[in-house]
Amino acid sequence: MQLSATPYEERLTAPRSWWLISFLVGVSFALILLPFGTLPLLGGLVGGTAAAAVVASAYGSLRIRVVGDSLIAGEAKIPVAALGAAEVMDAEEARAWRTYKADTRAFLLLRAYIPTALRVEVTDPEDPTPYLYLSTREPEKLAAAIEAARAAKA
């Protein structure tokens, strides 16, 4: 497998505020266990914080990559030859495509804490998916990487 001219990889990490919320979940568990003594209080703080941090980390571990002649978005792997035009969307346009403009058949890799996105048409006649909606912090770079991979394949 040949790597694309412009390899791309992005991890859709959770925002910093989610880590503060994880700590506050731990504090909540500690307060719930306060009547049972100091040791349960500390256990609630550590256990609650750790559990919430694991959830935040797992939700933010999703990756978008362009490797060789494929776009890998989460668990989906799509050859770039099956993709059409890519549309870079600002925050307002991305919100519209997440809500009232959305097609129920579309593949959505959605992270609400990322305001910008890339919408890529699917041109494969065998695939009922009309487009991919990919939340990304760098939609221009992702579009360029897809185009570079398509050009390298040709």
List CB contacts of 153: < 8 A, sequence separation 6 or more.
Answer: 69, 80, 81
- For 55, what's the count of Cα atoms within 13 Å in the CB-facing half-sphere? 11
pLDDT over 50 at 92, yes or no: yes
- Classify residue 130 by its DSSP letter: -
pLDDT band for 154, please (50, 70, 90 cuts): low
Q: Which residues contact 140 (CB under 8 A, 6 or more apart)?
A: 88
46-69: pLDDT as tens digits: 999 999 999 999 998 899 999 988
Residue 152: per-residue pLDDT: 81
Q: Cβ(11)–Cβ(109) under 8 Å?
A: no
Percentage of residues of the chain with pLDDT beyond 70: 95
Per-residue pLDDT at 10 exceeds 70: yes
* Coil, strand or helix at 107: strand
Give the pLDDT confidence of 101-153 residue by residue, as tens digits. 999 999 999 998 999 999 999 999 999 999 999 999 999 999 999 998 888 87
Per-residue pLDDT at 75 exceeds 80: yes
pTM: 0.82
Each residue's pLDDT tens digit, 64-73: 999 988 999 9
Question: What pLDDT, on a 0 to 100 scale, did the predictor assign at position 1?
Answer: 46
Cβ 153 vs Cβ 80: under 8 Å: yes
Spatial separation of the C-alpha atoms in residues 132 and 106, rounded to whole Å: 6
